Amino acid sequence: MQYQAPKGLLFVKVGEEPYTRKNGTETTLAVWHAPCAREGCVSPVVIKTPLTNYQTSKSFLSKHCDNHKLTKAEVNARRVAARKLVHSTGNTKLSDQDVADIRASKLSAEGLSLIYPVCVRQLKEILSGRRR
């Protein structure tokens, strides 16, 4: 059996294994494998889901094998770096022509932030007319 995950990985069911819940009742879990998303890695992503109603499992959001999963510290470091990048671009000067182009654009502030080196908050203020 195969399942196409929301993030694009194709998981293949490779077996089942018994599992004892915290309350002591017995159940069976399905074991799934998919290729790791890291380029060049041959280790599989291994997840376990309930046998029934497996489509709702958040486990299918996994896309890296155990060797390539980020630690909590790495995730937090990336989050801080991204936040600094967003806030550091908030002081960029825009020309009058840039402001006119932004207001004439049909894109959202999020879409415009990919084009202009300013934060989304500043773009929203420009679009609403509160800022030049």
Tokens for 23? Answer: 């309350």
Backbone torsions φ then ψ of 84, nearest 5 degrees: -65, -40
Are 98 and 115 spatial neighbours (Cβ–Cβ below 8 Å)?
no
User: How far is it, in rounded angstroms, from Cα 94 to Cα 67?
Assistant: 44
pLDDT in tens, 46-104: 999 998 888 888 888 888 888 888 888 887 877 777 666 555 555 567 888 888 888 88
Please count the other Cβ atoms lying within 10 Å of the Cβ belonging to residue 98: 15
Q: For position 85, what pLDDT does the model report?
A: 59
pTM across the whole model:
0.55
